[in-house]
Structure 1
Amino acid sequence: MTDSDVHPFRLGARTVVAESDWVLQLFVELADDKDVELSVIIAAEGVLMAGTLIGMGRYFQELADSFSNARGNVPDVTQALSGALLSAKEVYTLTGKGAERRRPQFLHLRGARKIAPQVAGSGSLWRCRLDRITGFSFGTIEVN
């Protein structure tokens, strides 16, 4: 990323530095800060993904839960993975609020399904760098 890719501007009382789509950054911040969930379709690196936008804290919690509930898991490994993910969630919760917070770097989806170039997946957790997203839309899409 070069300096020409960064676009600072004022939005209300705060300065926003957009390294990716600033509108999408705002919705990711809403998901992170207020636990807002929205149905979205994301275009990233030639792939269309559909799912529910969730906050980073919820993503880490659900990912930790998925390890804890996995069949055939090795308890020590599962506990270590779940603990590490919950620690990441706590670090985000403690440092992710307030004036000095970093802008979101990632978008998190629940129930993510690849819908193009070919349909794949039954809905899982998905994480994507915001600066890799080339387009988005709110809503759902039905794929037969």
Structure 2
Amino acid sequence: MESEVQKDEGLTIEQYAKAKGELEKTWRGRGIDWFLQDLARWANDMSLTFGITLHTPAGIVSGTVISHETYFKEFANQFAGPWAGESEDLVRKMITSLGEPIPANDKPDSNFQFIHLKEAQFYAPGQNPMPAKGVLWRGKISSVSSFNLGCFSPA
């Protein structure tokens, strides 16, 4: 069996899922969840947004998945805010350029290493969510130990 699942437009959904499952078996324990990478890729390719809760060594992070392009645009706007005039525009353009869409010819073999959230909140036992309003968050997929769909809300 090949070590990678090659993108083949002729694959059925069932064949693709079986090939991904076989690939997952060969990579089990290597620390990166291929399905979470696919979710990050779909957020980028299709501009999908959806609630997710991630479990990391630092704790629980919950928010809305966004594309890397959206993340860098929003980050640039927040970061450039304190500067005025030409400096603001320069800083905004510099940061926004980091989130340019991935060229189509680079996508088939690309494995996303980061996932981006907006309105992210952090949860610890017995504590209120931090911060109350939520923030932009960028995390390494390899640092996520588990996840579930939907945003966390304490009882």
| Fold-level similarity (TM above 0.5) | yes
Paired letter, 1:34: M
Which residue is 2:141 aligned to? 130
Q: CA offset at residue 97 of structure 1? A: 4.6
Which residue is 1:93 aligned to? 102
Q: Is 2:58 the partner of 1:46?
A: yes
Q: Is 2:111 the partner of 1:103?
A: yes
Q: Secondary structure at the match of 2:98?
A: helix
Q: Distance in 2 between matches of 1:97 and 1:9?
A: 16
- How is 1:51-70 mapped onto 2 (pairs within 5 angstroms)? 51-68=63-80, 70=81
Q: Secondary structure at the match of 1:104?
A: coil
Superimposed CA distance per residue, residues 5-31 of structure 1 (whole angstroms, 9 cap, x where no aligned partner) = xxx454729876865111111111100
Q: CA offset at residue 55 of structure 1? A: 1.0
Q: Distance in 1 between matches of 2:90 and 2:105?
A: 23
Structure showing greater radius of gyration is 2
Q: Distance in 2 between matches of 1:98 and 1:25?
A: 12
Q: 1:48 to 1:96 in 2, by over 3 A?
A: farther
Q: CA offset at residue 51 of structure 1? A: 0.2
Q: With structure 1 as the length reference, what TM-score do the two structures score? A: 0.76
Task: Give RMSD over aligned pairs.
Answer: 2.7
Q: How many residues align?
A: 133
Paired letter, 1:84: M
Percent identical:
23
Paired letter, 2:60: L
Q: CA offset at residue 74 of structure 1? A: 4.2
Q: Distance in 2 between matches of 1:73 and 1:126?
A: 22
Superimposed CA distance per residue, residues 39-59 of structure 1 (whole angstroms, 9 cap, x where no aligned partner) = 001111131011001111111
Q: Is 2:125 the partner of 1:113?
A: no
Q: Is 2:31 the partner of 1:22?
A: no
Q: Distance in 1 between matches of 2:136 and 2:105?
A: 21
Paired letter, 1:106: F
Q: CA offset at residue 93 of structure 1? A: 3.2
Q: Secondary structure at the match of 1:93?
A: coil
